[in-house]
Amino acid sequence: MAEIINPILRGFNPDPSIIRVGDDYFIATSTFEWFPGVQIHHSRDLINWRLVNRPLKRLSQLNMKGNLDSGGIWAPCLTYHEGIFYLVYTDVKHSGGIWKDTPNYLVMTDDIYGDWSDPIYLNSSGFDPSLFHDEDGRKWLVNLVYDHRKGKNTFGGILLQEYSPEEKRLVGPIKNIFRGTELGFTEGPHLYKKDGYYYLLTAEGGTWYDHAVTIARSRNIDGPYEVHPDNPLLTSKGDPSLALQRAGHADLVETQDGEWYMVHLCSRPLAGRQRSILGRETAIQKIEWREGWPYLVEGGNKPAVKVPAPALPEQKWEERPARDDFDGEDLALDFQTLRIPLGEDLLSLKERPGYLRLKGAETLSSKHRQSLVARRQEHHCYTATTCLEFEPESFQQMAGLVAYYNTEIWYYLKVSWNEDKGKSLGILSCNRNDFDEPLAEEISLEGRERIYLRVKVDYENLQFYYSTDGEEWKKVGPVLDASILSDEYATYDKKFGFTGAFVGICCQDLTGRRKAADFDFFEYIGRE
């Protein structure tokens, strides 16, 4: 029997929302501060998945300039009804102190691979919005209500309100239909209807190592809801031996043949350490219904790595090339930028065909305008390589290869300039805003037009390299701690990390003159 091997979406792909349209399955996942917003993957067999679109690609849909680290797109919900795809999402503008600013929006399309509409504003009462299309044609929005008041449960329950397609707004009364279980932190709601019951699936326990999936049901959409007799439906809590940790935040889908599956987030921390450099990933479990309730077919409530595949013909996709020579008119789908799109004033594939030209912008600590292009780390071990042509004239101009978590945690192999060595190669690191230069003495690159840069990550070990010919490589600096590029490590001092490690290329010009750096290619080769 064919098997699905978890996780099905590797690397930073949390908060999965799944739908089936005919023979096609689609999953939407959170992207936080990375632009374009929301990843959509496609499959025909639930085994093999391919990235096909990021729908929030215009500033009119999503402008995250100034958003905090791990703000932006939280928990999108993808649904389909009568030929139209619906996507609701939160753009978190602030999260800290007692407040969260969480405007929720809706975009639509009849072509999931194409362009999506400009957003319709819904509400700001909390995050994790989800749209439900009832059998009678009415549409309902559910979302967490966030309660900032002292002494209150900040995760104050799940609100229900009707959405009017004609008026393009929420209408009618607002009702709190479910205040959660003793697990707490009730969020991530999704509604379904089956055999006369409304089912409300929620995430509980917080998105760390006590995360869980809870399900409740009611004969009426507005409740009251009774909780599953063997709650939680899924959790990794209390079992550090499991390969898939932090299991929670789920969504259900029915196959063409009446089989049921549940996608959920998970993480795979480094052995013996609670640090997940790949971030929160997406896994899947098979479900069966017994006495009106869903259960894992394997029994119990622990996530399995190997899951029975549905009775569908396998559909494999062509693998994405490891190397991008920047020969196309657009960036490859693997790449994203931070918070906003980069226009020709900062990024060009046209000015020098065959090269990606980045024009120097703000620092790696900036939450506004960075000239940075990066891709997810999808393997615990990988090698990333690029070739750079750059002629800095000031110590304030630099370009190179970056292993990045957020504005406060990164490693940077940079080409810059100084008074003693002229054009030179060095390392700059940022560890919770503590800056260091791990290379004792910078390496002179005077007279070298092209320089090849490489980073190798082997679980928690990160090593930089350089070459002048692309053949012979020399180590640069010491072995660095890759485990700090994790959401657990980024969660400190009332700050939270919800993303995963990225690797990419960047250019800064703190003089404001936008000195350009030309990158000939970028290659990522992963291995487990």
CA distance 131 to 192: 10
Q: Spot the catalytic one: 45, 187, 442, 460.
A: 187
For residues 68 and 102, what is the distance between their CA atoms, to the nearest angstrom? Answer: 12
SS3 49: coil
Select which of 15, 204, 378, 518 is catalytic.
15
Question: 150, exposed or middle or buried, with CB in 10 Å at 0-12, 13-18, 19+?
Answer: exposed
The count of residues in the chain is 528
C-beta neighbour count of 299 within 10 angstroms: 9
How many CB atoms within 10 Å of residue 241? 7
134 an active-site residue?
no
Query: Identity (one letter) of the amino acid at 21?
Result: V
Closest CA to 381 of 501, 526, 271, 480: 526
Q: What is the C-alpha separation between 112 and 44, in angstroms, rounded?
A: 15
Q: Are 77 and 131 in contact (CB under 8 A)?
A: yes
* Phi, psi at 216, each rounded to 5°: -135, 165
Could you give the CA distance from residue 507 to residue 523 in angstroms, rounded to a whole number?
Answer: 18
**Sequence-separated (6 or more) residues with CB below 8 Å from residue 344:** 350, 351
CA distance 218 to 292: 11
325/319 Cα distance (integer angstroms): 16
Nearest Cα neighbor of 278 from 482, 463, 128 is 482
Q: 187 an active-site residue? A: yes
End-to-end, the C-alpha distance of the chain in Å comes to 24
CA distance 44 to 133: 23
Residues 497 and 459: their CA atoms lie apart, in Å, by 19
Q: Which helix (H) or strand (E) holds 488?
A: helix 487-490
Contact residues for 513 (Cβ-Cβ < 8 A; gap 6+): 360, 397
413-445 b/e (C-beta count within 10 Å ≥ 16 → b): bbbbbeeebebbbbbbbbeeeeeeeebeebbeb
Burial class (CB in 10 A: 0-12, 13-18, 19+), 528: exposed
Nearest to 211 by CA among 238, 230, 229: 238
Report the helix count and the strand count for the chain, using DSSP H and E. 1, 42
Instruction: State the catalytic residues.
Output: 15, 187
